[in-house]
Chains A and B, each alone.
Chain A
Amino acid sequence: MTELLIRNGFVYDPINKIDGEKMDIAVKNGKIVEKIEGKRVKKINASGMMVMPGGVDIHSHIAGAKVNLGRLLRPEDHYKDVEPRTSKTRSGVGYSIPSTFTTGYRYAKMGWTMVMDPAMPPLKARHTHEELNDTPIIDKATYPLLGDSWIVLETLSEGRIDECAAYVAWELNATKGYAIKLVNPGGLEAWGFGRNVSNIDDTVPNFNITPREIVRGLCKVNQLLHLPHTIHVHTNNLGKPGNYENTLKTMQCVEGLNHNNRPLIHITHCQFSAFAGNDWRTFESAADKIANYINAHNHVTLDMGQVVFSDTTTMTADGPFQFILYQLSGNKWINGDVETETSSGIVPFHYKRSSYVHATQWSIGLELALLIKDPWKILLTTDHPNAGPFIAYPKIISWLMSRKAREKMMKRINKKARSKSLLPTIDREYTPYEIAIATRAGQAKALGLKDKGHLGVGADADIAIYDLNPEKTDLNANPRLIRRAFKHAAYTIKDGQIVVKGGEVVKSISGRTFWVNVEAEKALVETRILKEKFAEYYTVQYENYLVPEHNLAVSAPIQVHAEV
């Protein structure tokens, strides 16, 4: 194992409250250690550079059935962005939905070392894991879609919370999942017959339950199981004008469940859920309303879902929403429902500066990030590739850090959007410390990943070094330098190994796949009953549904003890 000493960098390690202090970081056996000596130690001179924990991405669609269908749909997208093979790397394609190898390399080149795929249909879990196995360098995890699972709906509607928890624990184990994902809860089941739910209190057709009950129920389950992350929620009515009220209700509906002032719910790609107005003409930002609520409460974390102006590919489990997007855009459309569990949809989408709606969406994401005071509460994502591909992160970092960068873009967007945007009234500029929170520390904390997102002793030696000197450069005035530095990390270190140098992959390794292994007092699920249900609901055999651990290239189970 390599021993490394990273010398003299400006270290940003918010979890350990280190804010740009010049110091050394020592690495041994893939972990951060107190100090290291000897001849075998490889020294990296990081003076004049920023040293941060490896980037973490709480929500990025990088693998699985839907992502792959998205790739299938878009040869014209790959064609314009190819990666030839090198002596160290496999070939591949970009742009908005890169092939798996390219995904791993591109994240690593930016200094990111862990990425969560947020939408795994349990029935196709094996597929997600096969792709994650083929995604090099970075660590990964994936969230099974559970908000429309028949067994969840049935147990919750009958108030059988313990049974639901048992089932969820079984699903996490069966699918090697990490967290409970809800997408348009109830709406996806309704989409099975081409319908949807209209708000959090609408009844799900054929099931005696409302989205509110599903969210509250799974939130309780999450607590019972002591899962590391909160429930991860894509709200009802996402992408529709006026949806912010529903978003507020979704956050409010779990308020009472709080007992220890810890987050209970993660609202993902919040930009898409912060729309005011009655229709697309009166559509406007509700970022201030969401921000006010978040500033007054501590039980919610968000991620941005920041729009980047580009030709991208939208893909969510929200089948009915994707159908609307197809109608709005007239682009090609894929729908892919999954029996008993969920749905999905894919539509290529071009965010244009000249469009009032798109430009306003761009503004909303940044407004949220700048109006919410506590950077631990809002994390940087593009909901890759929904609001833009992840390779745009350096750009977004520059918008957050530099008012000048925002103003530059403002000049080029739709006039009406510009005049209505709240951005001109906001002076705030993220510090490097806050960027480190939004892109790594905050993400790891929200995910409950104890060894990620920081550089304290014992942490995984996942480190990014950026060639950016906070003492010598006026960062706010030089957004171009920010972008350049974050685009190509000077070094990326993964598990103590130098994988990227000067923005190029110098070594490819397999990352780990994290999943939660719930241990409980008693056997959680009565297998016989589950098997019976299973035979009735699925077209595959119970045994063939389970993903064995050896299907994961490098399995990294996290043990938790449930309360049931």
Chain B
Amino acid sequence: MTVSMRPKYLFKVPVNARNISPDAFASQTIDKIKKFEVWEGNKKRTLGELFEITGESGETPKETSIQVTGDLRRVKRIGEAMTEGEITIEGNVGMHLGEKMKGGTITVTGDVGSWLGAMMKGGTITVKGNVGDYVGAAYRGSMKGMMGGAIIIYGNAGNEVGCFMRKGLIKIYGSAGQFVGIHMHNGTIFVQGDTEGRAGASIIDGKIVILGNAASVLPSFTFDDVKKKVKVDGEEILGPFYSFTGDLVEKGNGKLYVAKAKNQHLDFYEKYL
């Protein structure tokens, strides 16, 4: 069962719409859904005031799918803490999409703001466009970032992908900014494109694979070996890769794999072989 939504106008101020979620919509009539409370800046509104809403929701979250079409770049927190079901967004969407998500799927055709899938525990988020900073990160001051699930990004990602990540998978087919995986405790991050350096800063454990240019490797990583291939989520990726361990400043045992092909500037490490 699908509920379709379309914003009635381009929102000028941020809209906090944490209850656009299969968990909230399930077993509710469209009329009831229209009465759900949302914040447009500091004004309390109803979903019906902000969105055209049609269709029908399922009995359970699992059977509920929500399709939102339009420019949602100022709409925050869609799918927060959702457990099951499906959200499809045709267009761009704002920050905290799928934050603390536990299950289900979110798919976006456009771009997404920062804190995508922050602190998520399960489920899958797929983004066709680009995303902002702090994908799968923790809230300020917390050391518990993404704890499970998968985030797949076909475009580019900003800085600090997977900050304080503990578990799960982040795959970026485009490029990523600085500090990929910073403070990561575990989990896997794969970047097919280039990164802006400092990948793996202060990681304790986990795996980061960079196929493109890595810009630099931190002096606090130790060079292990050249590896022919590495595994990401059960899939073999062909290298060869320079393999590093770190971050030694945190007595870390994380792995950083950087493809040799795009990173000739690191060949001086081969003298340690």
Direct contact between A and B judged by beta carbons closer than 8 A: yes
Instruction: Tell me, rounded to whole Å, the shortest Cβ–Cβ distance linking B77 to chain A.
Output: 14
The interface residues of chain B lying within 8 Å CB-to-CB of A77 are 141
Q: How far is the CA of A74 from the CA of B139 in the complex (A)?
A: 11
The interface residues of chain B lying within 8 Å CB-to-CB of A75 are 139-142
The interface residues of chain B lying within 8 Å CB-to-CB of A73 are 141
Residue A193 lies at the interface, judged by CB distance under 8 Å to chain B: no
Residue A532 lies at the interface, judged by CB distance under 8 Å to chain B: no
Count A-B contacts at CB 8 Å.
14
Query: Residue-by-residue, is B138-156 near A (CB-CB < 8 Å gives 1, otherwise 0)?
Result: 1111100000000000000
The interface residues of chain A lying within 8 Å CB-to-CB of B140 are 75-76, 79
Across the interface, name the chain A residue whose C-beta is closest to B144. Answer: A76
The interface residues of chain A lying within 8 Å CB-to-CB of B142 are 75-76
For chain A, the bracket of interface size reads under 10
Q: CB within 8 Å of B: which of A501-538?
A: none
The interface residues of chain B lying within 8 Å CB-to-CB of A79 are 139-140
Across the interface, name the chain A residue whose C-beta is closest to B142. Answer: A76
The interface residues of chain B lying within 8 Å CB-to-CB of A76 are 138-142
Interface centre among A73, A76, A79 (most CB of B within 10 A): A76
Query: Residue-by-residue, is B73-99 near A (CB-CB < 8 Å gives 1, otherwise 0)?
Result: 000000000000000000000000000
Q: CB within 8 Å of B: which of A71-90?
A: 73-77, 79
Q: How far is the CA of A77 from the CA of B138 in the complex (A)?
A: 13
Q: CB within 8 Å of B: which of A27-82?
A: 73-77, 79
Q: How far is the CA of A73 from the CA of B141 in the complex (A)?
A: 7
Q: How far is the CA of A77 from the CA of B144 in the complex (A)?
A: 12
Interface centre among B140, B141, B142 (most CB of A within 10 A): B141
Instruction: Tell me, rounded to whole Å, the shortest Cβ–Cβ distance linking A472 to chain B.
Output: 41
The interface residues of chain A lying within 8 Å CB-to-CB of B139 are 75-76, 79
Instruction: Tell me, rounded to whole Å, the shortest Cβ–Cβ distance linking B268 to chain A.
Output: 35
Q: How far is the CA of A76 from the CA of B142 in the complex (A)?
A: 5
The interface residues of chain B lying within 8 Å CB-to-CB of A74 are 141
Instruction: Tell me, rounded to whole Å, the shortest Cβ–Cβ distance linking A72 to chain B.
Output: 9
Across the interface, name the chain B residue whose C-beta is closest to A78. Answer: B141
Q: How far is the CA of A76 from the CA of B139 in the complex (A)?
A: 6
Instruction: Tell me, rounded to whole Å, the shortest Cβ–Cβ distance linking A291 to chain B.
Output: 39
Q: How far is the CA of A74 from the CA of B142 in the complex (A)?
A: 8
Query: Residue-by-residue, is A285-312 near B (CB-CB < 8 Å gives 1, otherwise 0)?
Result: 0000000000000000000000000000
Q: How far is the CA of A235 from the CA of B138 in the complex (A)?
A: 38
Q: CB within 8 Å of A: which of B119-145?
A: 138-142
Instruction: Tell me, rounded to whole Å, the shortest Cβ–Cβ distance linking A84 to chain B.
Output: 12
Q: CB within 8 Å of A: which of B132-185?
A: 138-142
Across the interface, name the chain A residue whose C-beta is closest to B140. Answer: A75
The interface residues of chain A lying within 8 Å CB-to-CB of B141 are 73-77
Instruction: Tell me, rounded to whole Å, the shortest Cβ–Cβ distance linking B168 to chain A.
Output: 19
Q: How far is the CA of A73 from the CA of B138 in the complex (A)?
A: 15
Q: How far is the CA of A76 from the CA of B140 in the complex (A)?
A: 6
Across the interface, name the chain B residue whose C-beta is closest to A74. Answer: B141
Across the interface, name the chain B residue whose C-beta is closest to A348. Answer: B141
Q: How far is the CA of A77 from the CA of B140 in the complex (A)?
A: 10
Q: How far is the CA of A115 from the CA of B142 in the complex (A)?
A: 30
Q: How far is the CA of A76 from the CA of B119 in the complex (A)?
A: 12
Q: How far is the CA of A75 from the CA of B138 in the complex (A)?
A: 11
Q: How far is the CA of A170 from the CA of B141 in the complex (A)?
A: 40
Q: How far is the CA of A333 from the CA of B46 in the complex (A)?
A: 44
Instruction: Tell me, rounded to whole Å, the shortest Cβ–Cβ distance linking B258 to chain A.
Output: 29
Q: How far is the CA of A79 from the CA of B138 in the complex (A)?
A: 12
A-B pairs with beta carbons under 8 Å apart, 7 shown: A73-B141, A74-B141, A75-B139, A75-B141, A75-B142, A76-B138, A79-B139
Contacts beyond the supplied A73-B141, A75-B139, A75-B142: 9 A-B pairs with Cβ under 8 Å? A75-B140, A75-B141, A76-B138, A76-B140, A76-B141, A76-B142, A77-B141, A79-B139, A79-B140
- Identify the 6 closest CB pairs spanning chains A and B, nearest first: A76-B142, A76-B141, A75-B141, A75-B140, A76-B139, A79-B139
Interface residues of A (CB under 8 A from B): 73-77, 79
Interface residues of B (CB under 8 A from A): 138-142
